[in-house]
Structure 1
Amino acid sequence: MSTLPSPLPPTELAELDGPQLSVLALVLLGSDLDETVVARVLDVEPDRARAAVDALRSDGWVDERDALVLADRTHLTRTLGENRLNTLARRLLAHHVERGTLTLPVARAVAATGTPSDELSQFLCTQAELAEPAAAVVLYAEAGRVGRLGDSAVVAYAEACALNGDLDTAVGLADSVLERSGTVDDPELAAAVRISAAGAAFCGMIDRSAELYAWLGADRAGADASLAASLLVVAGRLDDAEAVLATSAGAPPTAATAGAALVATGLVQSVTASANAALNSLTRALSLPGRASRPRVLPDSPAAITALAALHCGELAHADAVLGRAREAERPGSVTANRHQLLTAWTSMVRGDLAAAQSRLDGLDTAAMRQRDLLFVHGLRVGLARRTGDNAALLQAWAGAQGVIAEYSVDLLSLLPLGELWLTSIRVGEPARITHLVEDAQSLLRTLGEPAMWGSALHWYGVQASILAECPADLMPHARALGEAAKVSTYASGLATAGRAWLRVLQGDIDAASVEDAARTLDRIGLPWDGARLAGEAALRASDTRVATALLQVARALRQPTSAGNGADSAVVSSPSTPGSLTDREAEVAELLVQGLTYREIGSRLYISAKTIEHHVARIRRRLGAGSRSELLSMLRAMGHGYSADS
């Protein structure tokens, strides 16, 4: 069994003759020790080349694989000298280029010497085209150091950077192409616009993305005309989108082009036609066979757009299915991975599965996220805190969102997190911090003719905002908008019914049957938590204890996510129908809690520790599904606890 020779001390380099040092230089440059190659590159006789190679092998300068055995390679570089190493690098490169035998290790080693060569640069670019994004970024950088990159290479370099998560470098490279637009061919120009538009979209500036495509024009957009149309719709420029979409018919009929056209068509339909038609087109775009041989960075993924459209219609199962397929098909390290995970978490939150939503959110690395995804992160954080009644977490999440709120530009795909942040701003008493975005969103919807599919969700948030602010008058415009949308949208119809029920509750008109019907309608259209909140609020305002208890049952049942889904036919969680349904000890604790006693005072009365009282209260709160301490106290009063102290 052979053993590797020990690295030789640097001082012995001085003992090698010229050919031996030159052969070591070739090994350093990635070359093998083929005697013919050595002889030709060193311009020596084959016998002399063979002797130099044999001497290096026998003395242990290379191992059995002819790899260099030397701990300190910088000493070898200094011994050779820059001029000699560069000369050998040029000769080795010329030899392989002439014979078409250049390999990537040799090319990279020669490039590391800084030897300028257009052939070498082109070779590295060709290899980069075949590599994964992370490796491609390195190869394009090396190619740029030894030669001038053409427009197509610069665009490909930008694409690789974007796919590798380096958005700043990607946009910088794409912009360098746009600056030379007068001399750049249309395909490269369109690709540069796509990359810059994607960068702007990731940063929450869809209006900038739309301006880029408006500048490019339909004639130069080529196969990306459908992509331009999609962006223009999302930015609220429907007329421009339809004009661009009309020119996309001449694009090559590839699966990718057909898919992009269906996405654009679906987005136009989401504004001008029915939600069902829009979802059909968007979902068909995802079902086309075939996959692009090379990934491209896009302003948003078709799966994310489709899932968001489904969420705006209350089609939670549809959104889940779309996102599940997208996650399974995702390339490792995909730039869309965070987006799909965030939307999956959002779907779980809306369904009422708060634990699943929190788990997915906790599993994300937010450090490298840009504003668009961060808006959803902050929307999830405040949404989860609001639903669990964690005021400390709500305040912390609100404070963390301020940076994104200050610099975001509203578009159709950002209305959901905006709605959650809107409600939070009212809860914490700082609505002015987000008023400008809410007004921009409402203006966007008006510009598009109040599309039911996109507007219903925001108007439902408006209803809730009016309730939180205790301003019933502010609720009316949103209720009217939902009423109009109800004519063409089942989802909006459910929201409109709930909005009317909320208004009656605020006016003190508690009709248990209509409240329960509205709450269960919200559950059926994918908003069980909202339904539970409506029923719970009505229970708190009901003067009849039996009515209050019945509505609390509804609220508790809807707050419990089930494996079967979120429909009204889901099994109702067993719940107490009277105050006595609590255990005797829990009833005692509840009675004293409602009377305003502290945990310590309750413990003293019942001869148990304050810690045990805390555990009892936690169990009561979980059993009732109360989102906060104040809600718990209100529920207990509605159930009849605390009245004994008043009699």
Structure 2
Amino acid sequence: MRLGVVAPGGYGKSAILREVERVYQDAGESVRLVDDAHLLDETRLREVLDADEPRLVVAYRPWPRQRVLAESAGRWRALMPSVFSKEQVKEFLPASAGRAVVDFVHQQTGGVPRFVERLAGISSAEVPADAVAAFRPELDWLDGDLQKFLLAAEAGAGLRLDLLGALLGKDFDEVGEVIEAGRATGLLGQDGTLVPLARRAVAVLSRAERRIAVRQRLAELQLASGGPVLDLVRPLIGTGVGGPGIAAAFEAAAGEAMGADPALAARLLAASASGAPRPEIAARWAAASAMAGDLDAALRLADQVITGPESPHRAAAAEVAAVALAHRGQLARSTELYRWSASSSAGAFAVVGRIGTGHAPEELELPTAPPTSFDGAAALMAQGMRESVAAEPMAALSTLVRASGLLEPVGKAALLPDSPAALAALVALHCGESGVAESVLERAAVARVGGTLMTVRHVVLRAWIAMVRGHLVEAKECLVALKKTGKRLEPRDWLFAVALEIGVARRNSDLATVKRTWEQACEAVLRHPVDLFTFLPLGEFAAAAARLRDEHRLAPHLDAARVLLRELGDPPLWAVPLHWGGLHAAIIAEQTGVAEEHAAALAVHRGRTRYNAIVSDAAESWLDVLAGKVEPDRVEEAARGLHAAGQWWDGARLAGQAAIRTTDRQAMVRLLDCARLLQGRPVGGKKAEAVQVAEVGQLSDREREVAELVVGGMTYKQVGDRLFISAKTVEHHMARIRQRLGCSSRGELLAQLREMVG
């Protein structure tokens, strides 16, 4: 038998020779075996092949090509071992190895037998260090050009003949020879890419300075040809490489990374700057830092450019600072910077900021924006804000929704002081269109409009919608998820997050959490000056302040909100929610006169929109209920109106409060059923309980006071202190209530009272 075994390194040629030798030895016959014949010189190789050997087995790699081997190929049968299949790989692994481990080993090794053998003992999808270290001997003996080629292949340029030619200083034919030599090592697949396990070994075992030099040269060559360089230079961050060529590559890579990973873009720009960055780099670095949520770095870098020598990049730096200050609640200062910047989009954002801080829109002329999606969206945001203070809430909502849609395809890389989706959601919440608010926020979240910087803003507004609808568990889960990130929230996001926590706690009658969070709320209000976009959290804080009898700490901020509204001419869209929040704070504080003032203010705007009419009717119903005048038809209509406007919890609470104040037992049952229905709870299963409540009659005024305070989380002693009675008297009141309601346990009693008093 004369046999030629040809395959790259690691394919098992030596194993085949050993097996042939064993078979012949067992048969008592001799055979001549020649391994690594490609390494023999031509004279020696010719002697071996021309010898009169009846049994000869020659193993060799396809490279380097030996003329003698090529001439002799027709004188023997050829055997070409191939890579292992997954079934063959499985035979090398422990019996406990699952399908995932088999797939992992096959993918990492490319099925090359020698590499499979190195991972034969693993039982999980991890590469042991000794498997990588085993490559060192075969990498060390490779010549310099082949090592450079493998490093280029590890960098992803294994088939870029133009780059390889410049890197190796060879023409295309010579580069092809090097590639063939690489394939013959077994480290490369047929597609010219490194086998994953081999790629890991080349990256880990090659000398660091050589690997850096190859990547740097490739990046410079790629940049010169106008190709992408991000993947080439990413591993060079922090290595200390320098020079004009690599600096330019870092800058180009930052542009590639900005949309998908602004934090990486910031690191690349930092790597490109040796010493103090040029104004252009500092401005781009500031923008990348802002997009990544690092507003401290963004402001520091932007200020360097703004206060530095005159340059065309100062306007861009001013816009970055304006964005950062808007997120930190400094809307007035942000607006000044936008006006100073004077670009088209900056002019539009300045209009939004001016209106948000209480300046009449007539003072500014909206600049004409160029036909880009970003500038077009900015112009629509300005137009929408103008319409919002011109008694055109639905027109404003439509404009802002269109602005959000326009920005969705490009918004991921947009640096925004506020997103059109967030403004649209605020306007929608202010005019009872929570469904629109939810939809526009969901779309913005999917499109990642505003990138990392706007993520929290969109999350807290979606949680706010859940809260006003009475989905308190969902709203609380959003807050928990934000806390788990461990990131410090910027003042605007923190203001809404704290207001959410207080709002959820108040609706859950969790007075302990309201008390615990109140100090944070006061600090959040101090850190964020009042603007038009903070009225929703102010309303929640007003109710909490009334519950805690701490109104004086919030009073200056509510006064500032009222002044801001007057400066804008009391636009109904923004005025109505503030008065609605003030009404509930006055009800909680038992300030009937103040509640009537807010109800009168709401009545002024009732004819403007359907939502205004709903809120005004509800306010009047609340006042009647508090005065003991319960008209079931009117209350139910008002409660259902609030529910239709997205304020499900408010509607249910109005019906529940009316139920415990009516002397008509049939009306009580009806209103309790209405409250349950608006809360999304089944009515039929509770009918008997409702009848039982109806049969016991109405709670007395004192019993109702005691019940509300206990449900609010107060101890008997605290209730007694509030009502100037003893704790024992409070206990007697609760015992009578429990007896009259027929409750068998304290838990059942509290559940019943919570339903009745909201």
- Common fold, TM-score beyond 0.5? yes
Instruction: Evaluate the alpha carbon distance shift between residue 126 and residue 243 of structure 1 in structure 2; reply closer, same or farther with a 3 A threshold.
Output: farther
Distance 2:220 2:642 in 1: 73
2:332 corresponds to which of 179, 191, 207: 207
Distance 2:733 2:219 in 1: 82
Structure 2 SS opposite 1:409: coil
Q: How does 1:618-633 map to 2 (within 5 A)?
A: 620-621=752-753, 624-627=755-758
Distance 1:528 1:54 in 2: 72
Q: Which residue is 1:558 aligned to? A: 675
Confirm whether residue 157 of structure 1 aligns to residue 276 of structure 2.
no
Q: Which residue is 1:613 aligned to? A: 745
Distance 1:357 1:212 in 2: 35
1:233 corresponds to which of 340, 349, 355: 355
Q: Which residue is 1:417 aligned to? A: 537
Q: How does 1:10-29 map to 2 (within 5 A)?
A: 23=148
Q: Which residue is 1:124 aligned to? A: 250
What do residues 470-506 of structure 1 show as CA deviations (whole Å, max 9, x unaligned)? Answer: 2223234323322322242333333333333444444
Structure 1 SS opposite 2:529: coil
CA contact (8 A) 2:659 2:756 kept: no
Instruction: Evaluate the alpha carbon distance shift between residue 509 and residue 558 of structure 1 in structure 2; reply closer, same or farther with a 3 A threshold.
Output: closer
Q: How does 1:14-413 map to 2 (within 5 A)?
A: 23=148, 30=155, 76-77=207-208, 103-108=229-234, 112-131=238-257, 133=259, 135-147=261-273, 151-180=279-308, 182-185=310-313, 189-216=314-341, 220-239=342-361, 242-244=362-364, 246-249=365-368, 251-288=369-406, 291-292=409-410, 295-330=413-448, 334-365=452-483, 367-368=486-487, 369-413=489-533
Q: CA deviation at 1:52?
A: 11
Q: CA deviation at 1:206?
A: 1.8
Distance 2:448 2:207 in 1: 45
Q: CA deviation at 1:8?
A: 5.6
Structure 1 SS opposite 2:241: coil
Structure 2 SS opposite 1:183: coil
Q: Which one-letter code corresponds to 2:303 in the other structure? A: D
Distance 2:468 2:581 in 1: 13
Distance 1:95 1:523 in 2: 64
Q: Which one-letter code corresponds to 1:620 in the other structure? A: Q
CA contact (8 A) 2:649 2:678 kept: no
What do residues 262-312 of structure 1 show as CA deviations (whole Å, max 9, x unaligned)? Answer: 221121111123222322322333454972276212111111111111111
Distance 1:553 1:104 in 2: 67
Confirm whether residue 440 of structure 1 aligns to residue 564 of structure 2.
no
Q: Which one-letter code corresponds to 1:202 in the other structure? A: H
Q: CA deviation at 1:435?
A: 2.1
CA contact (8 A) 1:121 1:144 kept: no
Q: CA deviation at 1:420?
A: 0.5
Instruction: Evaluate the alpha carbon distance shift between residue 605 and residue 361 of structure 1 in structure 2; reply closer, same or farther with a 3 A threshold.
Output: closer
Instruction: Evaluate the alpha carbon distance shift between residue 97 and residue 450 of structure 1 in structure 2; reply closer, same or farther with a 3 A threshold.
Output: closer
How many aligned positions are there? 590
Distance 1:327 1:90 in 2: 38
Identity of aligned pairs, percent?
29
Distance 2:227 2:435 in 1: 55
Q: CA deviation at 1:423?
A: 0.8
Q: Which one-letter code corresponds to 1:262 in the other structure? A: L
Q: Which one-letter code corresponds to 1:554 in the other structure? A: L
Q: Which one-letter code corresponds to 2:334 in the other structure? A: S
Q: CA deviation at 1:427?
A: 0.6
Q: CA deviation at 1:559?
A: 4.7
What do residues 34-68 of structure 1 show as CA deviations (whole Å, max 9, x unaligned)? Answer: 999889768899999999999999999x7776657
Q: Which moved more, 1:290-299 or 1:303-312?
A: 290-299
CA contact (8 A) 2:377 2:404 kept: yes
Q: CA deviation at 1:208?
A: 2.5
Distance 2:221 2:444 in 1: 47
Q: CA deviation at 1:207?
A: 2.2
Q: Which one-letter code corresponds to 1:182 in the other structure? A: E
Distance 1:403 1:56 in 2: 65
TM-score, length-normalised on structure 2?
0.65
Instruction: Evaluate the alpha carbon distance shift between residue 284 and residue 113 of structure 1 in structure 2; reply closer, same or farther with a 3 A threshold.
Output: closer
Distance 2:677 2:359 in 1: 41
Q: CA deviation at 1:139?
A: 4.5
CA contact (8 A) 1:157 1:170 kept: yes
Distance 2:450 2:596 in 1: 48
Q: Which residue is 1:642 aligned to? A: none
Distance 2:335 2:263 in 1: 27
Instruction: Evaluate the alpha carbon distance shift between residue 541 and residue 162 of structure 1 in structure 2; reply closer, same or farther with a 3 A threshold.
Output: same
Q: Which one-letter code corresponds to 1:248 in the other structure? A: P
Instruction: Evaluate the alpha carbon distance shift between residue 19 and residue 102 of structure 1 in structure 2; reply closer, same or farther with a 3 A threshold.
Output: farther
Distance 2:440 2:203 in 1: 54
Structure 2 SS opposite 1:165: coil
Q: Which moved more, 1:296-305 or 1:464-473?
A: 464-473
Q: Which moved more, 1:494-503 or 1:41-50?
A: 41-50
Distance 2:497 2:407 in 1: 32
Instruction: Evaluate the alpha carbon distance shift between residue 136 and residue 438 of structure 1 in structure 2; reply closer, same or farther with a 3 A threshold.
Output: closer
Q: CA deviation at 1:452?
A: 0.8
Rg larger in structure: 2
Q: Which residue is 1:645 aligned to? A: none
What do residues 203-258 of structure 1 show as CA deviations (whole Å, max 9, x unaligned)? Answer: 22222222222333xxx22233222211221121224xx444x3422x21334333
Distance 2:358 2:248 in 1: 43
CA contact (8 A) 2:639 2:651 kept: yes
Q: Mark the runs of 5 or more structure 2 residues left unpaired by the alignment.
A: 1-82, 84-111, 119-130, 697-702, 708-728
Instruction: Evaluate the alpha carbon distance shift between residue 132 and residue 572 of structure 1 in structure 2; reply closer, same or farther with a 3 A threshold.
Output: farther
Q: Mark the runs of 5 or more structure 1 residues left unpaired by the alignment.
A: 565-569, 584-589, 628-647
Distance 1:140 1:169 in 2: 10
Q: CA deviation at 1:29?
A: 9.5
Confirm whether residue 430 of structure 1 aligns to residue 556 of structure 2.
no
Distance 2:656 2:575 in 1: 26
Q: CA deviation at 1:462?
A: 1.3
Distance 1:229 1:247 in 2: 7
What do residues 310-354 of structure 1 show as CA deviations (whole Å, max 9, x unaligned)? Answer: 111122222233233333433696443332232222223223333
Q: CA deviation at 1:453?
A: 0.7
Q: How does 1:559-638 map to 2 (within 5 A)?
A: 559-561=676-678, 574=687, 578-579=691-692, 613-617=745-749, 620-621=752-753, 624-627=755-758
Q: Which residue is 1:456 aligned to? A: 576
Q: Which residue is 2:48 aligned to? A: none
Q: Which one-letter code corresponds to 1:215 in the other structure? A: W
Q: Which residue is 2:593 aligned to? A: 473
Distance 2:367 2:329 in 1: 26
Distance 1:28 1:439 in 2: 67
Structure 2 SS opposite 1:262: helix
Q: CA deviation at 1:421?
A: 1.1
